Amino acid sequence: MTNSPTTTSQFTHEVTARIERLREQAEAGGFDAAIDLIVSTLDGGGVIQAFGTGHSEAFAMEIAGRAGGLIPTTRIALRDVVLHGPRDVEVLHSGILERDVDVVSDLWDASIIHPADLFVIASNSGVNGSIVGMALAAKERGHAVIAVTSLEHTGAVTPKHPSGKRLSEIADVTIDNLAPYGDTTLTIGEGIGVGAVSSLTAAFIAQLLTIGVAERMAARGDVPPVYISANIPGGDDHNNALENRYAGKIRRGA
């Protein structure tokens, strides 16, 4: 059975209306503070540390290591505590790491982080232990933090970190992903919520930030360090040459 024209149109409206609001914000300078921080970080020799858990890891993937994206970026993932840290693979078989406050120390030690780096952290709820803990750890060590979160959702739920803080309350700059409480935009059947939008709006935000940074750098005569697709001729050579500039500062993996 295919989606009905009504629900398809409704969901399309919910998505495009939010995309339009984000476009308006960007054109009005609403993302300038975040772009300023990113450009300043790159000018200072730092890289962008992108972090998200659960479905918000998709945001980190939009920021780090993709065609059309900035090369001086690194994606931090919870699985790093197994791949590069001391934890056993069994911890990945449940969803507890996302809410585990204690994972932050291992995750930090397993990451490649330098003093000049900037953190861009995405979480729809903005209250889970690993997310809030990472933001606090970054701030305690002198790093700036940009948050992408749902202000509607995070304001309606109780923080799960012992600090009692939300991601939005820690960050230097917060960008609202415009997702509603619970993320879903449609109701079908007996009150079943569907039509989640946070991944779509977050991906759009990630691209707007990347475009804004590239534009800013190009306008002053610099060549933005941007990936081209590895699946076109010369792609690997271009990307490898630029990655070598940031050897020891960025990590790429599957």
Q: Are 76 and 138 in contact (CB under 8 A)?
A: no
Q: Which of 124, 145, 98 is nearest to 202 (CA)?
A: 124
Q: Which residues of 85-107 are buried (b: 16+ CB within 10 A; e: fewer)?
A: bebeeebeeeeebbbbbebbebb
- pLDDT score for 6: 87
Confidence of residue 153 (pLDDT cuts 50, 70, 90): very high
CATH assignment, 5-245 = 3.40.50.10490
Max mean pLDDT among 31-35, 227-231, 236-240 falls in 31-35
Task: State the pLDDT at residue 162.
Answer: 94
Structure tokens at 232: 């076109």
What phi, psi does 113 have (nearest 5°)? -130, 130
Please tell me the predicted confidence (pLDDT) of residue 90: 85
**Cα–Cα dist 107/87, whole Å:** 10
Specify the pLDDT at position 254.
65
Tens digits of residue pLDDT in 103-139 = 999 999 999 999 999 999 999 999 999 999 999 999 9
Cα 249 from Cα 117, distance rounded (Å):
9
φ, ψ at 170 (rounded to 5°) = -100, -35
pLDDT value at position 97? 85
Domain spans of the chain?
Answer: 5-245
Binned at pLDDT 50, 70 and 90, residue 1 comes out as: low
Q: Cβ distance 71 to 239 under 8 Å?
A: yes
pLDDT at 2 over 90: no
On average, the pLDDT of the chain sits at: 94
pLDDT above 90: residue 96:
no
Question: For residues 63 and 16, what is the distance between their CA atoms, to the nearest angstrom?
Answer: 21
pLDDT at residue 93 in the model: 83
- Give the phi and the psi of residue 95 in degrees, each rounded to 5: -95, 15
The pLDDT value recorded for residue 99 is 84
Percent pLDDT > 70 in the chain is 99
Which residue type sits at 195? G
